[in-house]
Amino acid sequence: MISTVHPEDKPALIAAIEDAIERRGPYAHQYRVRRTDGSYYWIEANGRVDAGPDGRAVSFPGVLLDIQERRRTETALRASEEFNRRILASSADCIKVFDLDGRLESMSEGGLSLMEVDDFTSIRGAYWPDFWQGDEKAKVVGAIDKARRGSTGRFRGFATTMKGSPRWWDVLVTPINDAEGRPEKLLSVSRDVTTMIEAEASLRETTRRLDAILNNTREAVFLMDHKQHCVYANAAAEKLTGYRFSELEGRPLHDVVHHKKPDGSHYLIEECPIDRAFPERAQMSDEELFVAPDGSFYPVAFTASPLVDDEGNPIGTVLEARDITEEKARDDELQEQTRTLETLNRTGAAIAAELDLERMVQTVTDAGVDLTGAQFGAFFYSMLHEASESFKLYTLSGANRAQFERFGMPRATPVFKPTFDGDGAVRSDDILVDPRYGKNAPHFGMPKGHLPVRSYLAVPVTSRSGKVIGGLLFGHSEPGIFNERHEKLMLGVAGQAAIAFDNANLYREAQLEIEQRRKAEEQQTLLINELNHRVKNTLAIVQSLAQQTFKTEVPTDVARGAFGARLNALAAAHDLLTRRNWEKASLSEIILSSVAATAGAASGRITCEGPDVILLPQTAVSLAMAIHELSTNAIKYGALSNDTGAVTVVWQISSGQGQPRILLEWKEVGGPPVAPPARKGFGARMIERGLAADLSGEVALDFAPTGLRCFIDAPLPEA
Partner 1 sequence: MTKQASALILEDEPIVAFALEDMLFELGFEEVRLATTLEAAFDYLEARAPDVAVLDVNIRGQRSYGFAEKLSGSGVPFLFATGYGDAEHPEALRATPTLTKPYNQDELKAVLATLTDPQ
Q: Which residues bind partner 1 (CB under 8 A)?
A: 529, 532-534, 536-537, 539-545, 547-548, 616, 618, 622, 625, 682, 685-686, 689-691, 693-694, 696
The torsion angle over the Cα atoms of residues 499, 501, 506 and 509, rounded to 10 degrees, is -170
CB of 360 to partner 1, least distance (A): 46
> Which burial class, exposed, middle or buried, applies to 359 when counting CB atoms under 10 A from its CB (0-12, 13-18, 19+)?
middle
- CB-wise, 210 or 539, nearer to partner 1? 539
Residue 298 C-beta-side C-alpha neighbours within 13 Å: 18
- CB-wise, 263 or 553, nearer to partner 1? 553
CB of 629 to partner 1, least distance (A): 11
Strands (E), 208-359: 220-225, 230-233, 284-291, 297-308, 314-323
CB of 540 to partner 1, least distance (A): 4
- 534 Cβ contact partners less than 8 Å away, ≥ 6 residues apart: 582
CB of 624 to partner 1, least distance (A): 11
CB of 562 to partner 1, least distance (A): 13
Amino acid found at 515: E
- CB-wise, 154 or 580, nearer to partner 1? 580
Task: Name the nearest CA neighbour of 399 among 340, 450, 446.
Answer: 450
- CB-wise, 73 or 696, nearer to partner 1? 696
DSSP state of 645: -
CB of 616 to partner 1, least distance (A): 8
CB of 651 to partner 1, least distance (A): 20
- CB-wise, 251 or 533, nearer to partner 1? 533
CB of 549 to partner 1, least distance (A): 10
Which SS3 state, helix, strand or coil, does residue 658 take?
Answer: coil
- CB-wise, 425 or 692, nearer to partner 1? 692
CB of 696 to partner 1, least distance (A): 7
Strands 585-586 and 26-34: unpaired
- CB-wise, 317 or 622, nearer to partner 1? 622
CB of 654 to partner 1, least distance (A): 22
What is the layout of strands, in order, in the sheet containing 40-48? 26-34, 40-48, 62-66
What's the CA gap between 78 and 337, in Å, rounded?
A: 98
What is the CB neighbour count within 10 angstroms for residue 585? 26
H helix runs in 91-129, sequence order: 109-114
Q: In angstroms, what CA-CA distances link 579 with 327, 536, 719? A: 84, 20, 17
- CB-wise, 4 or 696, nearer to partner 1? 696
- CB-wise, 147 or 545, nearer to partner 1? 545
CB of 694 to partner 1, least distance (A): 6
- CB-wise, 430 or 688, nearer to partner 1? 688
Q: In angstroms, what CA-CA distances link 137 with 185, 189, 195, 210, 305? A: 20, 16, 22, 36, 51
CB of 591 to partner 1, least distance (A): 18
What is the CB neighbour count within 10 angstroms for residue 550? 13
What's the CA gap between 248 and 158, in Å, rounded?
A: 44
- CB-wise, 603 or 622, nearer to partner 1? 622
Are the beta carbons of 252 and 264 closer than 8 angstroms?
no
H helix runs in 36-92, sequence order: 68-90
Amino acid found at 471: G
Are the beta carbons of 662 and 653 closer than 8 angstroms?
yes
CB of 541 to partner 1, least distance (A): 5
What's the CA gap between 592 and 604, in Å, rounded?
A: 10
- CB-wise, 182 or 689, nearer to partner 1? 689
CB of 607 to partner 1, least distance (A): 27
- CB-wise, 515 or 522, nearer to partner 1? 522
- 594 Cβ contact partners less than 8 Å away, ≥ 6 residues apart: 569, 572, 573, 623, 624, 625, 627, 628, 631
- CB-wise, 415 or 686, nearer to partner 1? 686
Task: Name the nearest CA neighbour of 366 among 341, 395, 338, 345.
Answer: 395
- 456 Cβ contact partners less than 8 Å away, ≥ 6 residues apart: 415, 426, 427, 428, 431, 434, 473, 474, 475, 482
- CB-wise, 420 or 682, nearer to partner 1? 682
Are the beta carbons of 256 and 242 closer than 8 angstroms?
no
- CB-wise, 519 or 685, nearer to partner 1? 685
Which SS3 state, helix, strand or coil, does residue 288 take?
Answer: strand
CB of 465 to partner 1, least distance (A): 49
What is the layout of strands, in order, in the sheet containing 104-107? 104-107, 94-99, 183-192, 166-177, 153-160
- 179 Cβ contact partners less than 8 Å away, ≥ 6 residues apart: none
What's the CA gap between 192 and 194, in Å, rounded?
A: 6
Task: Name the nearest CA neighbour of 227 among 192, 196, 255, 190.
Answer: 255
CB of 526 to partner 1, least distance (A): 12
